[in-house]
Amino acid sequence: MKKDIRIGLYIGSWPQNIGNAFFDLGAKAVLQAAVPEATFYPMGGAVHWMFMHSAKQHRVRITNGLENAIQGNPDYANNSMEIGQFADVDIIVFAGMSMCREFVENNGRTFVEASKKGVATLGLGAGAAIYDEDEVTVFSDFLQSLNRSAVITRDDETYDLFSGRVQNMLPGIDCAFFLPDYYNPPRLALPKYDIENFDFEIPDPRINHGGRKVIYTHHDLWGPLPERYICKPSTLVSDVPEDYLTLYSQVTETHADRVHACVASLAYGNSARLYSSTPRKALFSKVGVSNIANELTRLDMGHLKELKQRHIQDTRSIIESLVF
């Protein structure tokens, strides 16, 4: 592989869900291990989404005014630009829940424009959102429109779903399992503690914490915080992902309805339980904890090490095939 390979790290959407930072930062750790000779350039992957989301909100307000209704709604959504559209790099890499219609509609034009300049595309630790045929059709057609592209999936369900439709694809794991390779947190002067991480409007389950301290975390910091986020002591809501990693790395038990609160806790060798029926929980089966939605689980760290080594090897192999 050439020594001056330039890799664009397409990351972002952290304020809407700080868990997105977990697989973004994990992806960087994967790439640094797989292609240590590369130069890495972080570039925002939420710009188009923010414009489209905001345009929808303003359109509602605009149509409430007679004058603006007569003039028509401005098309703000197409005013956004992302650095990835113009960056002089060899390949752009994205991770996470991206093999879906939402990603193509919000982010697709960055990759289409980059592809026209000869830039390759890699989905690293990528997965579906709702695992239906619409996602297969939309995302597969999108990849086929690009000059050079490949995917390493984060769960076998995604791999099976897209098999036969995406040609350059390998099975892998979620990049957030590489978080300990990215960050070794400071020790905390705290007694043993559990974490409750419940962001959605569901009744908090009754959890036996065995007398341990309880810390509350929330992953959504988009806009003013709701009252239920700020009404309990020992609560963390931060725009710095390392704050969360520091807590999850030393937790006794994590109880969460956020997938990546559990992934981070497990990656650092701790116990976690997921309180969600999301199909995205398929990523846990790949690392041997398919029962995480039913009971507290802990990873076999030896097995995880083997999966991570294979993921790194496959990443280098795929990048070599795309860059040359």
- Predicted confidence at residue 212, as pLDDT, reads 98
Mapping DSSP onto H, E and C, the string for the chain reads CCCCCEEEEEECCCCCCCHHHHHHHHHHHHHHHHCCCCEEEEEECCHHHHHHHHHHHHHHHHCCCHHHHHHCCCCHHHHCCCHHHCCCCCEEEEEEECCCHHHHHHHHHHHHHHHHCCCEEEEEEEECCCCCHHHHHHHHHHHHCCCCEEEEECCHHHHHHHCCCCCCEECCCCHHHHHHHHCCCCCCCCCCEEEEECCCCCCCCCCCCCCCEEEEECCCCCCCCCHHHHCCCCEECCCCHHHHHHHHHCCCEEEECCHHHHHHHHHCCCEEEECCCCHHHHHHHCCCCCCCCCCCECCCHHHHHHHHHHHHHHHHHHHHHHHC
Regions in the chain scoring below 50 on pLDDT: 62-72
Q: Judge if 119 and 219 occupy the same domain.
A: no
Question: What pLDDT score was predicted for residue 65?
Answer: 44
Query: 291 with 210, same domain?
Result: yes
Quote the domain boundaries for residue 43.
6-180+306-323
- Give a yes or no: residue 253 inside a domain: yes
CATH number, position 140: 3.40.50
What is the reported pLDDT for 246? 98
Number of domains within the chain? 2
Q: Judge if 237 and 165 occupy the same domain.
A: no
pTM: 0.94
Same domain? For 169 and 278 the reply is no
Same domain, 122 and 170: yes
State the pLDDT at residue 67: 43
Based on the fold, state whether residues 97 and 158 are members of the same structural domain.
Answer: yes
Same domain, 273 and 312: no
pLDDT score of 199 = 95
